[in-house]
Amino acid sequence: MKRAVALPGYRDLQSFTPPEGIVAVPLDPETLQVATPDCPQTRTELFIAGTEPHELCPKHRPSVVQRVTRALSRAIGIRNDKKDTEPPPKPDEDREQEEPPPPQARTEPPATPAPASNPAGG
């Protein structure tokens, strides 16, 4: 292999651009069926258009409860899905200006008097 990549024709490799009529489909490597968002790993395979698989991976399908919970969460704006990203921060002009807390008066404990020395020597 080291000798092959040393040949002039293989030094300046370009990324592959598929021709027309070729579609890329993410597959689950365990089942070789179309990957779902819950598949832990995926790999992209190229197919001639019309020959690509359409069946979803049965091994990593979410349960009915998970699908309903996810749909309801998205509908009300809760984004707990591990693959969702946090929304971008709002611009400064849209943010409510929070007033800084008022400065608190610093209270120091009263100084304790030093023990008086007894001049009587006793």
Mean pLDDT (10-residue bins), the chain, 122 residues: 74 81 94 89 94 89 77 80 50 52 61 62 54
CA–CA dist 2, 7 (Å, integer): 9
pLDDT at position 95 is 47
CA dihedral 94, 80, 60, 62 (to 10 degrees): -110
Q: Is 6 contained in some domain?
A: no
Please report the pLDDT score of residue 64 as a whole number: 77
| 49 located within any domain | yes
Show the domain range for 23. Answer: 17-79
Q: How many domains does the structure of the chain reveal?
A: 1
In a domain, 99, yes or no: no
Residue 29 is assigned to a structural domain of this protein: yes
